[in-house]
Amino acid sequence: MKKIVLAVLIALSPMVAKEEIKMENPFLHEDHFPGGYFLMSDSLPHFMGVYMKRGGMHKVKPSKEQEEVIEKQFEKMVKIIMKTAAEIKELETTLTLEVINEGKNAKDVSEVLDKITNKRKDLTILQIECLNVFKKTLTKDQYQLMKDLAIQESKKR
């Protein structure tokens, strides 16, 4: 039952987050929500996404204890990630529209840029924590399999 609730939460979370954003950025291309809102979105692997959404859980075959540790991390992360990514998207949209439509310069939007940077950094710190949980929780072979799956996933982008 817990897995079903987690799967539903994962599936619906982008739709819920998108509802919060009132403005649309007409210049935004291929919005990879929420994964694209990390500071290093294309450099660090998204193990949790591979594990929960891309079949990694079935391939890694974690023990009950390992599964509980990973699910606990997921429960901790998902709300923070969705909320922060939505905030970043809204800040970026505001910044873009202010620069394009109102002619604001870099100095005018410096505070917003700092907020965006700090929020992206916070998400990346959370991502690093997540990677560390996988490293500490999985066996050497399971962890190697997660790395291999993440590499395969990154080639699909």
Q: What pLDDT, on the 0 to 100 scale, is given for residue 153?
A: 84
Mean pLDDT (whole number) for 114-128: 94
- Higher-confidence residue: 25 or 114? 114
pLDDT at 71: 94
10: confidence class by pLDDT, cuts 50, 70, 90: low
pLDDT reading at 5 higher than 50: no
User: Could you tell me which residues come within 8 angstroms of residue 50 by beta carbon, excluding any fewer than 6 positions away?
Assistant: 56, 146, 149, 150, 153
Residue 157 banded pLDDT, cuts 50, 70, 90 = low
- What percent of the chain has a predicted confidence (pLDDT) above 70? 82
Mind listing the pLDDT tens digit for each residue in 124-143?
Answer: 999 999 999 999 999 999 99
Confidence of residue 2 (pLDDT cuts 50, 70, 90): low
State yes or no: pLDDT of 100 exceeds 80: yes
For the cut 50, the answer to whether the pLDDT of residue 16 exceeds it is: no
Look up residue 33 and give its DSSP letter.
T
pTM of the model: 0.76
88 Cβ partners below 8 Å, 6+ apart? 37, 116, 119, 120, 123
Token couple for 107? 């100095």
